Each structure stands twice: as structure tokens, then as C-alpha cells.
Chain A
Amino acid sequence: MPAATLEKKSKRGAFLSLAGVAAVLALVIVLENTLDPNRNIIVFTTLKKGAVYALVAVSMNLLNGFTGLFSLGHAGFMLLGGYAYAIFTIPSAQRESVYYMYDGSAINFSFPEFFSNLFGGSGAGGAAGMVLGMLIAIVIAGLVAALVAWLIGLPVLKLKSDYLAIATLGFAEIIRAIFQWEPGGRITNGANALKSFPTFNNFNITDAEGEIVLRLSTSVCFAISALCIFLIVLLINSSYGRAFKAIREDEVAAEAMGINLAKHKRLSFIISSFFAGVGGALFAMYVNQVQAKTFNSAMTYELLLIVVLGGMGSISGSAIAAFLYVACGEWWLRFLDSEAAFKSASDRWAFIIVLAAAAAALTALLLWRRKRQGARKFSELWTACLLGAVVLGYDIYYAASGSMEVPFLRTGFRMVVFSVIIMVVVLFFRRGLMGDKELPARLRELAAFIRRLAAKIRRPSAGGGKPGAAAGKEAGGDE
């Protein structure tokens, strides 16, 4: 029965991806307990922030990539989640000092404290109660965001594309303003940060003396994020996910197939906001504090970028792009922000040659693209050489100047490079890393491409020899 094979296939895919996630999780646990946490702060920062951003980007993709609703309110929903988490987890003893500007907090209830006391205050029971309280607070963070999404979804989702984007962006700004508002200070702490709430470090397992036995902070962050993404994947592959995709493809046809647009759009909006709220709680735990001003439109912009870079409609794309983006921003491209000098003249010349080669390659690439688009005349082609010429000109100038300073490097250059990468992606790889495919399909495509390439390279030398044997060898090589 073909329907059954289809099911089997999807089951195998689900099993493989679950196994992959489990392997990654195990790796993170091992890393966390072998690497020195103080000397490798940057690794764990990247991993945690990457996991949080992956979740929020995937939830944004559910809305933008799978339901076709162009919404930019995610920073607002993250803010709601972050604040909800903080407000319901700060221990009562700390409330006084956190809310010192407002003479204490209006809400004096902390889920972790409540369950910790319920299970015996200290020791293993208390720790378990603490963890349970934190998990409940995370769910509540999601529910708060979902509730607000339900409320604003009614009017906002009637709007079409660009208008929806503007309205949701405005919503996020309004939320941010409300949470910084002085009269609400006894709840939100006004413009000040909320802190002293339990974070990922509370998941580390300690012995009686308070020594850490097993570090779990990064892996718990990973596990929560992975669980949420897994749920989103299940949703997308369910009947409801198919309905969302139908709406994305053609609203009129979807309605004609009996899909209630208002209901399904709202459902997608609420679910997406729920996970954005959970992501906000995780983000709060990652930075150890919540402050409304961090959840600005620049954050939404970052998330949108991740979604676009990863590919609209690709879950694995969003997840991979989130880690790449965070790693570049926090780690790999940091060096661009500080000035430096070449250690030797040969280093300098190597740099100059590489830059010249890059300029030439860029020109070749642009020319090739133009040609493929059908440009033949010089008047159509010369603009493609312009950029390369400018870079080359600068390179020559730099070579002649004799300076040992590495060019470009200074504060803010990282953002310039980022913007250039984004422009390149938007101009040349509009479908992003994955398009709307998932990792396995994309890898298969890549393998097929390499195989074709290899065959092309081999054919002239092999001549009319034994094509069958060659093909067999290639297939074997790919396994």
C-alpha cells in the first residue's frame, strides 16, 4: 500500500532526526563537563544563545515561512515571555533589592520557591521542586505571550502582508513602551532590569558542599529548545501544518478546500507566539536579566535575518542559520572589531594577494551571472567589473602605502561585514541556505551535484572507456 510506505518513510525520517538531536545533546553534555567553563565562556555563550535564537527563529518561520503571514512582532512576544518568567521566579527574599526603586514588588510569588518549599526546602527534593517551578514558569511565559497573541490576533490578522508587518512591529514597540512605563514599576520594575531569578546554572547538579558534580546548564537550554522545535516540527507535519502551507500557497484555494482562514491564521499566530514567549524566558535565563530595551526592533531584525538566511519554510535552515549567525556575531567575527597589525611583511603580502584574488573572483562571478542572464555587449557588462575594480584599486593603494596596520579593522566593522553578507545572500541566494527544504533533502541535492561535477571532470579523461564502472565508483564514494 503506497500510503503505508509514505508513512513509513516519514517515520524513518523522524527517527533519524531524533537520533541526530540526541547525539548533539550528548555531545553538548560531554563538552560541558570536559571543557573548562571559565576559559571557554565564548563557546557556551554561543551554544546557549544559538539554541535560544534557533527556537525563536523556528517559531517565526512557522508564521512567516509556513503560514505566509509576514509578522515582525517577535521581539514583543519574547519580551512578554521573558518578563513573565522573571516576575514569577524571583525569590521573595530578593524582591526587595530588585525592586528597590519602587519599594518592593506587587507580586510576591515565585514558582521555584513555592515548589522547592513544597518538596522539603533543601536537598534533592528542594532542587527538584526548584526545577519543576522553573519549568512551569517557562510554560507560563509561553502562555502569557499566547494570550496576548490571541487578543491582538483578532484585529491584526485581517491585514494583508505589508500592513500586517507594520502592525505587528508597532505592537512590539508598544509592548516595550508599556513595560518601561513608570506607573507599572511595581510589576515590571520600570526601565530597570529584573534580575536574581533562577537561570540555567540552577540545572547544574551539585553535591552537599555546593560543588558541581554534573554541569547541565547548556544542555538543558539545548534540550528545552530542541523539545520545542520538535513540537513545532510535529505540528508542521500534521494536518494543521498542511493547512498552514495551503494558506501560504493560495488563500482563496485554501478557503475553497474548507480551511477557515481566520481560525487557522490565528492558531498559527498563537502557537508561534507561545514559542516566542518560551524563547523569551530562555533568553532571560541566558543573559541572567530582563530589560525591556533589549527587545527592540533590532532583535526582530536579527531574527528575520536568520529566517531568511536559513530559508523561509525550512526548520533545519532556521536552526543552522541561528547558530551560524550567533557564532559569527559573538565569536568568529569579533576580531573585526579590534585594530591589529601584521606581524611580518610576508603576512602583509599574503593578505594583499588574497584580496586581489578575491577581487578577481568577484568580478568573474558577476560577469558569469550577467552572461548567463543574456548580457553580451560591453555596455551591459562593464558595471559588473566596477566593484572588483574598486577593491583592486584599494588593494594597490594599500600595497603602495607601506602601512603594517591590517586594513578595515576597527570598531563597527563587524556590522559592515554582516551587512555585506546579508546583501550577498539577498542578491544571489535569495532562497537562503536551505530554500524550503530540510537538511537531508539538501544534503542529497549536494551529493548529486558533487557527483555530477565529478562525472563532468572525469568524462574527458575517461573518454569512452567504461562509464558503468566509473559511475559505480562514484556512488560508492558517496556512501
Chain B
Amino acid sequence: MSENVLRIENLTMQFGGVVSVNGLSMEVNKGEFVALIGPNGAGKTTAFNCVTGVYQPTNGRIEFMGETIVRNHPQGRMARQYMGERATLYTSAYRGEDDPEALEAIEREGDGERRAQLRAQFDAEARERLESAKRRDPDALTNRVIAPTPDRITQLGIARTFQNIRLFSSLSVFDNVLIAKHMRARQNVFSATLRLNRREERRMREETMALLEEQDLARFKDEVAGSLPYGLQRRLEIARALATEPRLLLLDEPAAGMNPQETQELGEFIVKIKEKYELTVFMIEHHMDLVMQFCDRIYVIDFGKLICEGSPEAVRADRRVIDAYLGVVE
């Protein structure tokens, strides 16, 4: 089996009384180009924000390169308000139970012998689930919460772009990319101030310049980032994300506002950088042609829930997807 880069488990994000992401589970394997699609407001950006630490999910667990990077269960007031599923999965109270309704149905069974048999089967399944949870999650059956800040996630090797471009708009194009190099530098504030880090600073600048040249942005290096045309701003945002030396790249609607020609170029560009930097790419996108042409696999969500997963052909043919999404957009 191919290696998991990202593994999202039972991810639930509830804002007040609104469940934006509901029990979402997904996997992205090494070297894959995976798309996440769904109608507006389906919870795609929210899912990304949970992965990158911008939001702390209400419930769920996220693994990156086999290591748990996010883990939470409904706590405090949220424990009472919680409207999602599997509230106890990431707590010490978890006993392997999965479906309380199934258990009730067993209890209602009239025939005593049959009931005992079903019950034994149910318990065996619960035990099996418990065992597998223990195998996968070193913190299984504890209340441990793992909630890193976004900078920590970036440091681990997940970079992202934003749906509504977020550049450092009054800084130069060059500085925008150079800032991303700060995180991996070994300097401290004294050595940086007193210029004892000359070699490192030079290396950072050279790498930045190389990246800009490669992305065809070198001509604009001294321009103020906010003054670039929209398409270039998108490209700069990707360059900036690459400068953090990620292993997984999350793109939130990178082709928004682009015409078919630009969209096609963007798709080729993403595939190119994916090969060059040995990246895994996970992308939210609305342009179906882009998704269908370039992606290996597609996840479709609606109202925060996964409704379908598979190859572009399979997804295109899926009735639920057509109902929920494709029929509406096209």
C-alpha cells in the first residue's frame, strides 16, 4: 500500500450550532494530486483550516507522515452542544462502540438466543474497532488534545494558499518569498541583527531569487506585491508556499477568477512543481475541467459530509455528485 501523507479521521468542526464539517475522513497518499470539491459552503475551506491549525476542530484526528498532528474531542460547553458523531472516539471513555442505534435494535430483538448471538457479534466488532484504534493512534483511550499553532504545521511541512489571496501586500514580491525562508533559518535575533548570519542570509536570498526566476516572477521582484495583476498574485502565493519547503501543498481554489486558458496553464504548472519538488498536492477547486484532467483522485463533500470518493471518471458518473453538485453548477 502506498504511504499516507495526510490522513484525516472523523474530522468535525462545529461553530455554535452549525456543523460545517461533519465526520470527514480522507487520505492523501505520497505523490498524489487529490482534489476536494463540493458546492459553496460545503466546508472545504474549513477542513483546510483545521488541517493547518487555523481552527481547532471540535472532534477528530489528523495524521501527517504517520504522526498525529491534530487531535481533539468535544470539551466544555461544546460537549453538551455537540451535534456531530462519535463524541467519545478520542477520549478515555471510548469502548469501541460505534452505532448506538444498532445496539438498541439488538436489545429489541425478541428471540433470546438470537439476541445473545447478535450481542456477542456486536461486542466482538467493538473490540476489533478498539484494537484497531489502539494500533493506529498512540494516544488512543486518552483525553490528549493536540492543537498546534499554524506556524508549527508549516514547519512540519504543510504549506497552503488562501481562497482570498493573502499576500503581504505592501511588501515587495521578493520580500514576500524571503519571509517564508525565515522559519527554517538557524539564526537568532542577535546574530541576525549584528549580521553574524551573512552566509545564511545570502543563501536565503539566493534561494528566493532562484524560486522567483523559476516561477517567472523575477521581473517583478521589486514591485509591491499588492500591485501585481491577479493571476501573478496567485502565482506569487504559490511561490511563497513553496519557499517554506513543504512536502504537502494545500491549494484553496487556485484557479478562482481565471479563464479556461489560464486555468489550463495553472494545471500544468501545478503538475510541474509537484514533480520537481516531489510534492503531494491537495487542492480545493471549482473548475471541473481542471480537476478532471489533472487529479488522480477526487473527494466530494456536501454539507460537511463526504458523499463520494474516487477517480475522476467514477466521480463524474456518480448520481449523488450529479445531484449535489455538478447538476447545480453546470
Instruction: Spell out A's residues near B (CB within 8 Å).
Output: 1-3, 6-7, 231, 234-235, 238-240, 242-243, 245-246, 249-250, 252-262, 267, 271, 436
Contact = CB atoms under 8 A, between A and B. Distances in A.
B128 interface: no
B169 interface: yes
Contact of A261 (B151, B155, B166, B201): B151
Nearest to A6: B205
Contact of B54 (A238, A252, A436): A252
Nearest to B195: A234
Contact of A257 (B54, B169, B182, B202): B182
A243 B149 contact: no
Given A240-B193, A243-B179, A259-B182, A252 B209 contact: no
A242 B178 contact: yes
A249 B169 contact: yes
B152 to A, nearest CB: 8
B154 A257 contact: yes
A257 B244 contact: yes
B240 interface: yes
A412 to B, nearest CB: 40
Contacts of B160: 256
A6 B154 CA distance: 28
B179 A242 contact: yes
Contact of A240 (B175, B189, B209): B189
Given A245-B168, A249-B169, A253-B166, A258 B52 contact: no
B202 A258 contact: no
A239 B187 CA distance: 9
Contacts of A7: 202, 205
A3 B182 contact: no
B68 to A, nearest CB: 20
A258 B154 contact: yes
Contacts of B221: 2
The 7 lowest CB-CB distance pairs between A and B, nearest first, are A258-B183, A249-B168, A258-B154, A255-B150, A253-B166, A238-B192, A3-B205
Nearest to B244: A258
* Residue among A238, A246, A256, A267 with the highest chain B CB neighbour number at 10 A: A256
A257 B246 CA distance: 11
* Residue among A1, A234, A259 with the highest chain B CB neighbour number at 10 A: A259
Given A1-B206, A245-B168, A234 B194 contact: yes
Contacts of A250: 166-169
B179 A259 contact: yes
Given A2-B209, A3-B209, A253-B168, A242 B52 contact: no
A240 B179 contact: no
Contacts of A1: 206, 209
A255 B151 contact: yes
A436 B169 CA distance: 14
What's the dominant secondary structure at chain A's contact region? helix
Contacts of B192: 235, 238-240
Contacts of B209: 1-3
A246 B151 contact: no
Given A231-B193, A234-B195, A260 B168 contact: no
Contacts of B170: 249, 436
Given A231-B193, A259-B183, A267-B189, A253 B167 contact: yes
B208 interface: yes
Interface in B49-93: 52-54
B218 interface: yes
A235 to B, nearest CB: 5
Contact of B182 (A2, A243, A255, A436): A243
A3 B202 contact: yes
A231 B205 CA distance: 22
Contacts of B240: 257
A246 B171 contact: yes
A267 B189 CA distance: 9
Nearest to B250: A256
Contacts of A243: 179, 182
B204 interface: yes
Given A2-B209, A235-B189, A239-B178, 12 more contacts: A2-B218, A7-B205, A238-B193, A238-B195, A239-B185, A242-B171, A249-B169, A256-B54, A256-B154, A256-B160, A256-B241, A261-B151
Interface in B179-200: 179-185, 187, 189, 192-195, 197
A243 B168 CA distance: 11
Contacts of B181: 239
A7 B150 CA distance: 31
B174 interface: yes
A348 B53 CA distance: 71
A258 B155 contact: yes
B175 to A, nearest CB: 6
A207 to B, nearest CB: 38
Contacts of A238: 192-193, 195, 201
A239 B184 CA distance: 11
A266 to B, nearest CB: 11
Contacts of A234: 193-195
Contacts of A231: 193
Contacts of A260: 149, 151-152
A177 to B, nearest CB: 32
Given A246-B171, A250-B168, A256-B150, A235 B179 contact: no
B162 interface: yes
Contacts of B154: 255-258
B156 to A, nearest CB: 10
10 contacts: A239-B178, A239-B181, A239-B201, A245-B171, A250-B169, A255-B53, A255-B151, A256-B166, A257-B244, A258-B155
A361 B53 CA distance: 57
A258 to B, nearest CB: 3
A82 B187 CA distance: 32
B168 A258 contact: no
A231 B151 CA distance: 27
A432 B124 CA distance: 74
Contacts of B167: 250, 253
A260 B184 CA distance: 12
A250 B178 CA distance: 15
B174 A6 contact: yes
Interface in B137-179: 149-152, 154-155, 159-160, 162, 166-171, 174-175, 178-179
B52 A256 contact: yes
Contacts of B168: 245-246, 249-250, 253-254
B268 to A, nearest CB: 25
Nearest to B194: A234
Nearest to B192: A238
Nearest to B161: A256
A258 B164 CA distance: 19
A260 B189 CA distance: 14
B208 A257 contact: no
B233 to A, nearest CB: 12
B195 A3 contact: no
A252 B154 CA distance: 12
B179 A257 contact: yes
Contact of B204 (A239, A253, A259): A239
Contacts of B201: 238-239
